Structure 1
Amino acid sequence: MKAAVRKEVASMGKKKTYRGELVDEISGLGQSQGLNNVFTTFLEISATCISAEMDPSNAEEREKRYEEMTSAMDPKTLNCYAHMLALLALAIHEHEEDPCDILGSIYHEFRLNNEWNGQYFTPDNVCRMMAQLVNPVDERPEEEDPIMINEPTCGSGTMVIGAVWAMKQKDFDFRHKSFFVAQDIDIRCVWMAYIQLSLYGIPAVVIHGDTLAMKEWSRWYTPLASVPFIKRECAVNSTEKGAETSG
């Protein structure tokens, strides 16, 4: 699938692509395999593919899961999922300067959200407004360590994407000077957030867990997670070692 995704992106590079193409692709396969099943499989196979390639700490486990999913899948279906991921990558590229929640909006459009449990994602414009109101980068000293921001109920990653949008308005270097910790109890939300934060180039770890009960089942590090995170961890470790030495 990885090679197929690269092939699809290359072939579509000169063609205008829309979010609607992704919706049509998912809907088309969903007619024969079930919309909920197709959307969920698309999320897992995409998240697992990215993690297996770009997350060394979980690569072996994710590669194994990826092989389990794709080994029994016929080539035509696998190519459909590769095409979906390529379309999403291109759609996100189109919104690189104006990041928005693409997967979350599709999730609601398909009415796959859990309405009985009150699962509704905050709209992009509301997230942007909230991020501007509490923007922590204002008057932040240039030499400070990367800022750490936690989103305990991340959904599809809308609030994180909104925060990055606000940072971009102030020309803040979010890729080197921020790190996001996003959590959700719904694994589909974890996958949606992870895929989008990875493709937008946002340093983050998305945790599948119960924030209130403080339980954790898995971690998903985006490709750029190591840039500010390791820098901060090294600084913390250095400080702790210094304190132990002086003590």
Structure 2
Amino acid sequence: MAAKSQSPKSAKDKLQDAIRSLGTTMGLNNAFTKFLELTATALGAVLDPVNAKERNQQYEDAQKGLKPDEISEFARMTALMWLSVLEYKEEPEDILGDIYHSLRLNNEWNGQFFTPDHVARLMAKLSNPVSESDSDEGYVTINEPTCGSGTMVIACIWEMKKRGFDYRNKAFFVAQDIDIRCVWMAYIQLTLYQIPAVVIHSNTLTMEAWSYWYTPNATPYLMDHMKPQGNETEVAG
């Protein structure tokens, strides 16, 4: 009797396997964190409408000390991340948060736990204030002060899609977190899911902010609401 052929692995599974593989030589947490840093800064260097030059320098700095084959493997991971988002574009979910938990990295990240997609979707369904008619009433702005991997924002646009709301042209998200690794996770996913947003590396309680990460889809909103602040840019209220 012929053995059943296994279904091909998803891009998400391939990404997780690649992180595990590289983790055998450089440590699992280091491999995952470096992947986040390189992917976030690479995307920002090309797509951030405000801080592209700074992100490019950060990307070059992040590559220092890496071997050529490691740089190549991280680039492949970035491509797999993009392919993963394409797999979930109709039903957006927190890809990186799920990988983080599958890799059991919470002990390395001070016990951080990210809200599961099904819980985040329920919360979005119960609290989401938009309807299709709201598309004609200007921008809806939503703030997530402790965004983690971006789970709640992703769940919110999942619910907006269900309601027929044009979130790409009529919504803007402000996501904040004190952990730069969470900022990178959220920025990668919100950028690739084409969500209009700024992810801010900040302390929500003290109002201290260190960096702003703009997705390319934020540009239309920023043209009407942007004001300069030092070397960065602050979203006007």
Distance 1:16 1:103 in 2: 17
Candidates 188, 193, 204, aligned match of 1:200: 193
5+ long unaligned stretches in structure 1: 1-14, 235-247
Distance 2:18 2:213 in 1: 26
Aligned-residue CA RMSD in angstroms? 1.9
Asked if residue 76 in structure 1 is aligned to residue 69 in structure 2, the reply is yes
Q: Which residue of 2 aligns with 1:99?
A: 92
Superposed displacement of residue 69, structure 1 = 2.2
Distance 1:74 1:115 in 2: 24
Distance 2:196 2:116 in 1: 22
Write the mapping of 1:109-148 to structure 2, written as runs, cut at 5 A: 109-114=102-107, 117-138=110-131, 140-148=133-141
Candidates 158, 163, 167, aligned match of 2:156: 163
Q: Which residue of 2 aligns with 1:45?
A: 38
Q: Map Cα deviations across residues 12-49 of structure 1 (whole Å, 9 max, x no partner).
A: xxx87331111110000110111111110000000000
Distance 1:117 1:126 in 2: 22
| Equivalences, count | 220
Q: Is the 8 A contact 1:124 1:158 kept in 2?
A: yes
Candidates 180, 202, 205, aligned match of 1:187: 180
Superposed displacement of residue 160, structure 1 = 0.1
Q: Is the 8 A contact 1:29 1:38 kept in 2?
A: yes
Structure 1 ranges of 4+ moved more than 6 A: none
Superposed displacement of residue 63, structure 1 = 1.0
5+ long unaligned stretches in structure 2: 1-7, 228-237
Distance 2:109 2:147 in 1: 18
The structure-2 alpha-carbon separation of the partners of 1:60 and 1:140, relative to structure 1 and needing over 3 Å to count, comes to same
Distance 2:109 2:220 in 1: 39
When normalised by structure 1's length, the TM-score is 0.84
Asked if residue 34 in structure 1 is aligned to residue 27 in structure 2, the reply is yes
SS state at 1:224 partner:
helix
* Percent of pairs with identical residues: 56
When normalised by structure 2's length, the TM-score is 0.87
Candidates 64, 67, 78, aligned match of 2:60: 67
Letter of the structure 2 residue corresponding to residue 136 of structure 1: P
Distance 2:175 2:133 in 1: 22
The structure-2 alpha-carbon separation of the partners of 1:77 and 1:141, relative to structure 1 and needing over 3 Å to count, comes to closer
Distance 2:79 2:39 in 1: 10
Q: Map Cα deviations across residues 145-172 of structure 1 (whole Å, 9 max, x no partner).
A: 1100000000000000000000000111
Superposed displacement of residue 141, structure 1 = 3.6
